[in-house]
Structure formats: structure tokens, C-alpha cells
Chains A and B, each alone.
With several copies, the nearest count.
Chain A
Amino acid sequence: MDFRLSELQRELASATRDLLDARCPASVVRASREKPDGVADLWSALAELGLPGALVPEDAGGLGLSTTDLLPALQETGRAAVPAPIVETALVAVPLLAAAGNAELVAAVAAGDAVVTVAPAGEPVPWAAAATHVVLLGEHVSLLTRAELRGEPVPAVDGSRPLTVLGGEAGHGETHGEALGTEPALGRSARARAAVGLAAQLVGLAERQLSITVEYVADRRQFGVPVGSFQAVKHHLADALLAVRFARPAVLAAGLALDADPVAADAATARAVALAKATASDAADLVSTTAVQCHGAMGYTDEYDLQLYAKRGWALAAAWGTATEHRAAYGDALGLPRSH
């Protein structure tokens, strides 16, 4: 029993943070709103660090890591609101491609040459224009090249995470393009990894917003004192911190559960995943509401960076199951009846 981060986790997370501090400040996230085709430079840098291919075996050009190994680094990609499908590529697509034996694309991912986004059945697809490939994740799991994808861009709340709504493929009741499989375990485990990867990013997003807010209220003076010296502000922010601190271990535990049960077959795994996504979504949501409120009108201003992270948080909280949906799933996994 030792729930501290491993040396490897700490080092990869720290290298990721250093990279993103330099290469993905708020200005890059902001500018990406005008560049739906993606941030190729940033992706190359992430690939040099090994993140897209982190789960690819070492002999295939990857880092050979487990889901848990990667989560703290993904948290950093959340903190920086990386405007690219890193969770989708590294955590969702790679194991599906590897299982289907598409070694070529796996190698391209590890080399940084492929960017794979994922289209969950019935949900808008993020970063489709920036991706080289799209995995359709429904009853049937299949792979399209971007050229094969038919869909329409729709305006997104988070402009740095552009959305595409699919046409005929939306339901994923059949295979389009290259078949990756139809076993229920494929989709189930991929959805679980997506939820946990996003949960890690949500924790990072929450931490970022909290630190922006703490800095602001310590500095901003109203009524002759720092805004952060008011009891109401202190207590709001203490609650926000609490939510973040309790989400973090839940996310890591979900990673461990998935590594021990990669097909996500056990009820305990389902519970761990639901706990991670629900807790992290709620934490990010509470932090963003609190942050906007503690900033006053400043928090309601597009030119101020807070909103970039708040909007990414709202987008990720809504994706791959809302908090309420994950609570319902957790209850089901506990065998709790549902009634009218």
C-alpha cells in the first residue's frame, strides 16, 4: 500500500508541466480558437516527450506505460488546456489500434505523425479538423481517415476545442471505414479510459483556475482590503480546494483499477471510473463557478485568461458522461434499484 506518485509519474508530469509552461501558455490556447486545423508544433513537442505513444510498447516506439503512469502527465495537459486530442489519441485510440493490430498507425502515433480523435456515439467530436484519423466508438468500433469523415463543424462553447457533428455515422450501429471490432469489452474499456483521462485533465483544469483565482483575490483590493481577506471569499475557495483535493486520489485509483482490469469487466472498476469522472467534473464545475464569482466582472471578461480554462472544464465535464450519469452508473454497479 503506497498511494504516493511514483518516481516515473512525478518525472513525466514535471517534464510535461515544464514543456507546457513554455509551449502552451494561455496565449497559445487563445490563439488556437482561430486555428481549427490544430497546433502542429505543440503536438510535435508532446510527441517528443512521448505522450501520444505513452501506452505503446517500447519495442514499437512508445514508452510502454500503464494508464496510471500517464495520468499525472494528463493532469498537466488539463492544467494547460492543451488544445489537442491527447487523451483521445494516447489513452483511447492507442489500445484500440494495438488490439486491432494496426501497427502502422500505432507507430505513426508514437512518432507524432498521427493525431487520432474519437467520436463517441451520439456526441459531437472534438478536434476533428486537427486529427489525421477518427475512431468511431459505438456498438461497432471503426477507424476513418479525416478525409473519409463526413460531418459539420458546430460552434463550441470552448473555441479551443472545436466540435464536429457527424452525419450518417453518428449512431455507430455499423462499421465505417476500417473495422476495429465489435466486442462489448472494446467499447466499454475505451469509454472508461476516456472518462478517466478527462477526469485527470479536469483536475488539472480545476487546479489552474483555483491558482489564478487565489492570486487575483490576494492582489485585488476592494473596501480597502484584499478581496481574499473576506470570510465569504475564503470559505468559497476553501470549498473549491476541498473538491479538487478529493478528486485527485479518485482519479488515480481509477487508473489503477483499469490497469488491473483492462477490459473494465468488474463492478469495482465501473465504480472507480464513475467516481473519478463524477468527482473531477463536479470539482472543475465548482471551481469555475467559484472562480468567476470571486473575480467579479473580471471573471466575466473574454480578455482575461480564466475563461479559457473554465470553458474547457465545462466541455470536458459534459463529455463521456456527466456527473449525474456517472452517479447513476455507480449506483447501478452497487446494485441499487432504480424506481419511478
Chain B
Amino acid sequence: MDLSWTDDQQAFRAEAREWLTANVPARPLPSGDTRGGFTAHLEWERTLFEGRWAVVSWPAAYGGRDASLWEWLIFEEEYYRAGAPQRVTQNGIFLLAPTLFEFGSQEQQDTLLPRMAAAQDLWCQGWSEPGAGSDLAALTSRATEVDGGWRLSGQKTWTTRGAFCTHLFGLFRSDPESERHKGLTYFLVPLDAEGVTVRGFGRLDGDEGFAEVFLDDVFVPDTAVLGGVGNGWRVAMATTGSERGLTLRSPGRFLESTRRLRELAAEHPERLSGRVREDVVDASMRAQAYQLFTLAQVSDLVTGTPAGAESSLNKIFWSELDILTHRTALALRGAEAAVDESWSRGFQFSLAGPIYAGTNEIQRTIVAERVLGLPRVGR
């Protein structure tokens, strides 16, 4: 049992820190969830790629550094510590790519991953539909087999940054007779294909960060299928597992947000009474607890013990920590909390944490049934 980093890991950290210090834009970019801000963030993504920091854990052949999970964690810590921009390529790199590595053909990997790493292809997620939100298995978008490929029709919605992306990955019902989790297929769809219409719409915080994607008899070739026809549910669940767990929200993010919270607290000593001081400390402690939990989890992962349903615990924990952090920041800001700036935006965004990537209600049910073994009867 040892919580110290090796010399190599420390060297990796130093290299990352040096590069980030030299390259992170001095002034924060405009929000990547607006059209203008997205363009600025794309430039940053290409800078990252050129420095070989876009996808550190990927093979060098695809633009990565073959970094271990430990090094990935270190990079994430340094990334947030440096105040580097949000990753607008996140949904491709953290959600689609693990699925491609696990289920993609060699050709799919060789074609798609380098373009994704270089932010040439920009991927958005096509899970939710108007009638299928937390209940993903209720989706009705359909895929009909035709000569040489498939015709896709239906509507996806709440697609993050969909209006700015070039490609969509998502589930479609390929067997019209099927119900629920069966008969689904995972497709990779270019958004410039004929029959695709994308309409951006605003999130709670006003940014046009969502989109509806309408598919009207869109042709895609057979190579657009990921992981085999009819296997969509299994393939997609592998992705949502990584989404809710570690890779979506690494500890570095919360170590940094709670550090900023303490900075804010130091600017408002007159408000550090009552619950507010204890909440500032509590958030800081939870960030450290999350880091330690993650170190234990990664210790298991790198020695071959899969995380499984336990990754639901990560999701519940970080989403609640994020709300606590921002709620406390607003308490520190008092009447200024009504001003639209990074803390109030962050608060609004934090409220989405218990919703996206599977609501926390669903995560709690997963924990209760799959980790604690409680009976599934009833809801």
C-alpha cells in the first residue's frame, strides 16, 4: 500500500505542467457551448493535439502517448489545475472512443480515431429521444436494412453541442418487431448526410448547447454499424459505464473547483460563518475523498478488477459534490449570486449532473440492485 508516485509519473506530471503553463490561453475562452465559443475551443483542441496531449491514453499511432490510467489521472489533475478550457471533444474521446476500442473493427479504429483525436471529426451523442430520456430502451428511431447499408429515421434530442458537431453516434431500432433492449443497433452517422436536419436550442443557462437531430431516411453504409447488428444495447452500456464513472469526471476537476471555492471564500471572510464555512470545508474534503476513492478504484482497475456497477457511486458522488460546491459559492457571493458569471453558470450546469448520463435515481437503483443485491420486484 503506497500512495506515492514513481519517478516516471512525476516526470510525466512535470512535462504536462510545463506544456500547459506555456500553452493554456491566458484569458478564459468564451463558452464552448455557443457557436462562437465552440470555434475558439476547436483551435485549442488542435493545439492540444499538436502537443500530443489530446488523447494521452491512446496509442501513439492515433495521436496519443500510450499513457497508463495513472498518467491519465495525473494529466487530468494538471489540466484542471492549469485552468485549461473545457473539452468540446469530450463526447467523442471519452464516450465513443472506449466503445470503438472495445467493439470497433480495425478499419473503424484506423479511420475514425485519428480524425477524432485531431478534432477533425466532432462527435455528439444520439441517445435521448423525445419519448426516451432516462428510459433509453423506449427509443423508437429506426434503422431499415437496404442494399449496401441502412436507412435511418427518427428524432434525437438533448444532444449536447449537436449543432456544432460533424458526426453522431447513437442507437436505432434495427428490428421493427423488437421491444425495449432488444433489436437495437449502434450507428455512426455523419451529420452532413442527406436527410439530416439539426436544430440547436438553448439550455437552462441560455447557451445553445443542445440540439434536436431529425433523421429522414438517411442512408449510411454497413460500415456505420458499430459492434454488430442487434448488439446495440450491450455496446451502448459499455459507453454509459465509462460516462458515469471515472472518465467523465476525474478528481482533478473537483480538486480545482474546490480550490477556487476557497479562493472565493478568502475574498468573503465576512460570510464565513454558520453553515457556509463548514460547507466550504465539506466540499474540499469531499473532493479529497473522491480523489482517494478514485485512487483505490484505479488500483483495482490496473490490476484487473473491473469497476462494474460501482461506477454508479462515482456518478452520484461527483454530481452532488458539484452542486454543493456551486451552491456554497453562491452563498458566499450573496446578492451577487444573481449576476450571470462563472459561478452562477456553474451552479446551473451542476444541476444537470444528477440528470445526464443516467439520472441519479437510476444510479441509486443500480447500486441497490447490483451492488447491494436488493430485489428487483417493484419500483
Contacts and interface: CB of A to CB of B under 8 A. Distances in A.
Check whether chain A touches chain B (CB < 8 angstroms): yes
Q: Which of B138, B281, B333, B354 has the most CB of A within 10 A?
A: B281
B1 A9 contact: yes
A226 interface: yes
Contacts of B372: 210, 214, 234, 237-238, 241
Interface stretch (A15-23, A107-115, A326-334): A326-334
Specify the main secondary structure of chain A where it touches its partner. Answer: helix
A239 interface: yes
Contact of B133 (A6, A250, A298): A298
B274 interface: yes
Given A230-B361, A300-B203, A237 B335 contact: no
Interface in B279-306: 280-282, 284-286, 288-290, 292-293, 295-296, 298-300, 303
Contacts of B361: 230-233, 235
A319 B338 contact: yes
Contacts of B262: 334, 336
B338 A158 contact: yes
Nearest to B356: A297
A1 B6 CA distance: 7
A304 B48 CA distance: 37
A297 B5 contact: no
Contacts, number: 279
B272 interface: yes
Interface in B320-359: 323, 330-331, 333-341, 344, 348, 351-352, 354-356, 359
Nearest to B302: A2
A300 B351 contact: yes
Contacts of A230: 361, 378-379
B355 A297 contact: yes
How big is the A interface, by class?
A: 35 or more
B84 interface: no
Interface stretch (B35-43, B106-114, B146-154, B363-371): B363-371
Contacts of B238: none
B206 A159 contact: yes
B155 interface: no
Contact of A252 (B1, B131, B202, B344): B1
A1 B336 contact: no
Given A235-B365, A235-B368, A249-B292, A122 B335 contact: yes
Interface stretch (A142-150, A174-182, A215-223): A215-223
Contacts of B290: 246
B103 interface: no
Interface string A320-340: 101011011011001011111
Nearest to A304: B204
Interface string A25-61: 0000000000000000000000000000000000000
Interface in A237-284: 237-239, 241-242, 245-250, 252-253, 256, 271, 274-275, 278-279
B292 A327 contact: no
B28 interface: no
A250 B289 contact: yes
A100 to B, nearest CB: 25
Given A229-B378, A234-B368, A256-B1, A307 B277 contact: no
A330 B284 contact: yes
A327 B364 contact: no
Contacts of B371: 238, 241
A2 B1 contact: yes
Contacts of A275: 285, 288-289
A259 to B, nearest CB: 10
A245 to B, nearest CB: 6
Nearest to A71: B1
B44 interface: no
A296 B363 CA distance: 14
Contacts of A217: 374
A242 B313 contact: yes
Nearest to B280: A336
Contacts of A297: 128, 133, 157-158, 210, 352, 355-356
Contact of B338 (A163, A241, A247, A334): A163
B339 A157 contact: yes
A310 B204 CA distance: 10
Contacts of B293: 245-246, 249
A328 B133 contact: no
7 contacts: A3-B298, A4-B296, A156-B339, A222-B134, A246-B313, A256-B2, A338-B272
Given A237-B368, A249-B293, 5 more contacts: A163-B338, A234-B369, A235-B368, A297-B133, A300-B355
Interface of B: 1-6, 9, 70, 128, 131-135, 138, 157-158, 201-204, 206, 210, 262, 265-266, 269-278, 280-282, 284-286, 288-290, 292-293, 295-296, 298-300, 303, 310, 313, 316-317, 323, 330-331, 333-341, 344, 348, 351-352, 354-356, 359-361, 363-365, 367-369, 371-379
